[in-house]
Amino acid sequence: MIQQAFEMLGLTPKETQLYQTLLKLGPSSIRDIAEHSGINRGTAYESLKQLQTKGIVSYFPKGKRRFFTAENPDILLNLAEEKRSRLNKTIENLKNTIIPNLHQQQPDYHQTHVRYYEGDDGIEWVLRDILNVVSQQDHKEYCVFSSKPIRPFLYRPFPNYTKQRVKLGINVKVIALGDGGEEAELSERKWIKTEGSVDASYIAIYPPKCAIISLASNNFPSAVVLESKDIAKAQQIIFDTLWKML
């Protein structure tokens, strides 16, 4: 856990070891540092220079030798805050400038990207993709066709899905095929009566994507995600038209 935290701050295992050694020793020569850390003098000296650049270690001359000293551990929190600040700025640049510019550079061939997913892990990925895509839109809403047989298996890999959806402020409209289905916050539901059994299926429309989830033999879940503005728009028109009729 400690090494992982240091790595997040950009320190190598050797740099971490040297810093902790210096904290224990106090101001020390390169020879003493190398001896107590078990790192050879050449490598230790180069690593100490890196630590000095990062502001974690400093040195002072004593006679003809340099003595190194570790800065107060509180400096690590300052480093983490600086790193978080830079990361937040990078995220804002990605959202507002870099990604929009990259999208403009991408030719629009109206191609359909198709991805296949299987098993509980695959279904969880699709459900998370729905939340990720819709949460970034101005109008946070998606639409669903859902049949009764798939419901026990749909949220099995992601049991707190609805709670996450509500937390993100995402609305959902559901056209249920057959009876059943639970009312939930930020959701609207209408029903289509069916005669006889209905196959297990779930279709989510969240432009520019559509996800189709079904069950194979032995109730093994699989999904297809289509990424196409044209297909998503057509599916949305079908859903909206049917919704108004119900």
Question: Does 143 lie in the same domain as 210?
Answer: yes
Q: Which residue has the higher pLDDT, 16 or 108?
A: 16
Residues 6+ apart with CB under 8 A from 61: 67
- Tell me the per-residue pLDDT of 49-97, one tens digit each, with 9 for 90 and over: 888 888 888 888 887 788 888 889 988 888 889 888 988 899 988 888 8
The average confidence (pLDDT) of the chain is: 89
Question: Domain boundary at 53, 71, 89, which?
Answer: 71
pLDDT at residue number 30: 86
CATH number at residue 38: 1.10.10.10
pLDDT at position 114 is 92
| 50 in any annotated domain | yes
Does residue 180 fall inside a structural domain? yes
Residues 67 and 117 in one domain: no
Domains identified in the chain, total number:
2
Q: Does 147 map to a domain? A: yes
Q: Given 71, 94, 121, which residue is the final one in a domain?
A: 71
pLDDT at 11: 86
pLDDT exceeds cutoff 90 at 243: yes
Q: Are 203 and 239 in contact (CB under 8 A)?
A: no
- Please tell me whether residues 163 and 42 are part of one structural domain: no
Residue 86 lies in a domain: no
The CATH number covering residue 230 comes to 3.30.870.10
- pLDDT of 242 higher than 80: yes
Shared domain for 206 and 134, answered yes or no, is yes
In a domain, 64, yes or no: yes
What are the pLDDT digits (tens) for 155-208? 899 999 999 999 999 999 999 987 766 778 999 999 988 877 778 899 999 999
Question: 10 Å Cβ neighbour count for 225?
Answer: 21
Residues 124 and 66 both lie in one domain: no
Q: Examine the domain organization and report whether 62 and 117 are in the same domain.
A: no
209: domain range?
A: 113-245
Is residue 75 within 8 Å of 55, Cβ to Cβ?
Answer: yes
Taking the CA atoms of 84, 88, 94 and 95 in sequence, report the sign of the dihedral they define: positive
Average pLDDT over residues 106-135: 88
Domain end position, chosen among 71, 91, 125: 71
User: What pLDDT is stored for residue 237 in this prediction?
Assistant: 95
Q: What is the pLDDT of residues 204-223, one digit of tens each?
A: 999 999 999 999 888 899 99
Domain match, 119 and 198 both? yes
Q: Note whether 124 and 227 are same-domain residues.
A: yes
Report yes or no on 191 lying in a domain: yes
- pLDDT beyond 90 at 145: yes
Confidence of residue 110 (pLDDT cuts 50, 70, 90): low
Q: Above pLDDT 90, what percent of the chain? A: 39
> 231, 112 in Cβ contact below 8 A?
yes
Answer whether residue 239 is part of any domain.
Answer: yes
